[in-house]
Amino acid sequence: MPFTANRQFKKSPRLLARAEGMFYWTADGRQLLDGTAGLWCVNAGHCRPKIVEAVRRQVGEMDFAPTFQMGHPIAFEFAARVAGVAPPGFSRVFFTNSGSESVDTALKIALAYHRAHGEAGRYRLIGRERGYHGVNFGGMAVGGIAANKKMFGPGVAGVDHIRHTHDLSRNSFSRGQPAHGAEFADELERLCALHDASSIAAVIVEPLAGSAGVLVPPAGYLERLREICSKHGILLIFDEVITGFGRLGKPFGSQRFGVMPDLFTSAKGLTNGTVPMGAVFIKDSIYEAFMQGPAGIELFHGYTYSGHPVACAAGIGTLDTYAEEGLLTRAASLEKHWEDAAHALKGTRHVIDIRNCGLIAGIELEPRRGAPGARGYEAFVKAFENGVLIRVTGDTIALSPPLIIEKPQIDRIFDTVRSVVTATP
Ligand SMILES: Cc1ncc(COP(=O)(O)O)c(C=O)c1O
């Protein structure tokens, strides 16, 4: 099973059997309030009628069609629709099937772009400690989580990392962007000096790091990264697999933080998690560079299921639902209530930090001596038994509910977290 302790699970399985709106139901019929939008995906809530109907219709009309040297209208229709919610200048989209594939696709486009415009010497890829960019070889290499790498050999050559931005000593209990840490971006200058900037193709970061424990970018940090990348001709890739599609109160994280990358990835909320799909958004000037090369295939890359018609139908149903209900900006109107409810947990037993931005919160617990992660896992199990689905990475509880959540449901999530954390030894 993915990222699961198989033997532990077998002893006491947790099985989800049905979902609707803000809720799951377990196989034995218990209702669970979804505090995690599934796995950061279901931004419009579960089993929304427009999406369900679009998928039903498409699967009966055309189940699959190849996209190598041919196309189908719904893939172009969805590409145009989704580019319509992206920041200006990103009118080109490459479809994948997951966040991991989006990341590897973006890295390959960055490398190929430099080669296409005459800078083939740029081959290095820079990630960040504690970054999560999926589990394929490219994403694993630029990612910064040791447990995800240590079993799998030396990986991709020519990769380096800047330091993470977590700084409990200066920033604990920050509301929104922490005040300290813009200078951590200067590490990129150090790597430019070390490797020579002309060898660096791209830097990839999550605008807000989700999977490694909700690390909100310090004020000024992303701006500084952008500045250094521009100065040295390095492409800046934002991995927006979590931050995309309204999670931070704007359609994308780049818009929330006011910093534009050159490429950005997405998945999850792209189809509301209904059908697996990812997408890489590409700045028009990068796309145009490929179109200046020799005749023939411009990018030797793609997946059998790129632009899958059923996924595109789900995506169109999703965008319709987001638009009709204002979900790409709804988090902004709930953020104050969410933030206050999260920070009301300050002073709760074991809680050493609370972080928030948009409809995301991280609640960091003090690790139990000699058993890191145990306290977090126990809180997760207790919350599950108490009817609320939360997520933990190590000892940090990460909350990211569907964007249709109502205020009393927000209060219920944090009340449950308070009681289960307090009850955890
Ligand atoms: C920022 C980021 N990138 C990539 C991925 C990988 O996505 P997937 O699991 O769909 O391959 C994730 C998954 O959580 C993610 O959070």
In this prediction, residues 346-367 reach a mean pLDDT of: 98
Ligand 1 close to Cβ of residue 281 (< 6 A): no
**Rounded to whole angstroms, how far apart are CA atoms 46 and 101?**
24
How confident is the model at residue 245, as a pLDDT? 98
How confident is the model at residue 256, as a pLDDT? 98
Q: How far is the CA of 256 from the centre of ligand 1 (A)?
A: 20
User: In one letter, which amino acid is 35?
Assistant: G
In this prediction, residues 320-325 reach a mean pLDDT of: 98
How confident is the model at residue 157, as a pLDDT? 96
- Predicted confidence (pLDDT) per residue in 391-423, tens digit: 999 999 999 999 999 999 999 999 999 999 999
- Predicted confidence (pLDDT) per residue in 149-174, tens digit: 999 999 999 999 999 999 999 999 99
Ligand 1 close to Cβ of residue 103 (< 6 A): yes
In this prediction, residues 55-77 reach a mean pLDDT of: 97
Ligand 1 close to Cβ of residue 133 (< 6 A): yes
How confident is the model at residue 63, as a pLDDT? 98
How confident is the model at residue 105, as a pLDDT? 98
How confident is the model at residue 299, as a pLDDT? 97
In this prediction, residues 69-96 reach a mean pLDDT of: 98
Ligand 1 close to Cβ of residue 264 (< 6 A): no
Q: How far is the CA of 369 from the centre of ligand 1 (A)?
A: 30
In this prediction, residues 349-369 reach a mean pLDDT of: 98
**Rounded to whole angstroms, how far apart are CA atoms 143 and 204?**
9
Ligand 1 close to Cβ of residue 267 (< 6 A): yes
Ligand 1 close to Cβ of residue 127 (< 6 A): no
Ligand 1 close to Cβ of residue 247 (< 6 A): no
**C-beta separation of 355 from 399 below 8 A:** no
How confident is the model at residue 306, as a pLDDT? 98
Ligand 1 close to Cβ of residue 241 (< 6 A): yes
Ligand 1 close to Cβ of residue 357 (< 6 A): no
**Rounded to whole angstroms, how far apart are CA atoms 51 and 40?**
17
Quote the mean pLDDT of the chain: 97
Nearest partner of 242 among 32, 99, 107, judged by Cα: 99
How confident is the model at residue 309, as a pLDDT? 98
- Would you kindly state where each structural domain of the chain is located, as residue ranges? 6-48+326-423, 51-325
Ligand 1 close to Cβ of residue 206 (< 6 A): yes
How confident is the model at residue 133, as a pLDDT? 98
Q: Which residues contact 46 (CB under 8 A, 6 or more apart)?
A: 19, 20, 21, 22, 23, 24, 34, 38, 402
Give me 414's structure tokens.
Answer: 């944090």
How confident is the model at residue 240, as a pLDDT? 98
Number of the ligand 1 atom closest to the C-alpha atom of 139 = 4
Residue 135 CB: number of other CB atoms within 10 A?
17
Ligand 1, atom 7: nearest CA belongs to which residue?
99
In this prediction, residues 97-107 reach a mean pLDDT of: 98
How confident is the model at residue 77, as a pLDDT? 98
Ligand 1, atom 3: nearest CA belongs to which residue?
133
Assigned fold of 6-48+326-423: Aspartate Aminotransferase, domain 1 (3.90.1150)
How confident is the model at residue 259, as a pLDDT? 98
SS3 270: helix
Rounded to a whole number of angstroms, the CA Rg of the chain reads 21
Number of the ligand 1 atom closest to the C-alpha atom of 265 = 3
**C-beta separation of 35 from 402 below 8 A:** no
How confident is the model at residue 36, as a pLDDT? 98
Split at pLDDT 50, 70, 90, the class of 320 is very high
How confident is the model at residue 289, as a pLDDT? 96
How confident is the model at residue 286, as a pLDDT? 98
Split at pLDDT 50, 70, 90, the class of 324 is very high
Quickly list DSSP for 299-339: -----TTTT-HHHHHHHHHHHHHHHHHTHHHHHHHHHHHHH
Q: Which residue among 268, 275, 391, 392 has the greatest number of ligand 1 atoms within 8 angstroms of its CB, and so is best to mutate?
A: 268
In this prediction, residues 112-122 reach a mean pLDDT of: 96
Q: How far is the CA of 82 from the centre of ligand 1 (A)?
A: 19
Q: How far is the CA of 211 from the centre of ligand 1 (A)?
A: 8
- Predicted confidence (pLDDT) per residue in 199-221, tens digit: 999 999 999 999 999 999 999 99
Q: How far is the CA of 105 from the centre of ligand 1 (A)?
A: 13
- Predicted confidence (pLDDT) per residue in 172-196, tens digit: 999 999 999 999 999 999 999 999 9
Nearest partner of 362 among 191, 209, 193, judged by Cα: 209
Quickly list DSSP for 203-227: EEE-SSB-TTT-BPPPTTHHHHHHH
**Rounded to whole angstroms, how far apart are CA atoms 94 and 216?**
28
**C-beta separation of 263 from 106 below 8 A:** yes
Ligand 1 close to Cβ of residue 37 (< 6 A): no
**Rounded to whole angstroms, how far apart are CA atoms 43 and 326?**
12
Assigned fold of 51-325: Aspartate Aminotransferase; domain 2 (3.40.640)
- Considering Cα of 111, then 286, then 260, then 404, what sign does the dihedral take? negative
Nearest partner of 126 among 190, 62, 40, judged by Cα: 190
Q: How far is the CA of 241 from the centre of ligand 1 (A)?
A: 6
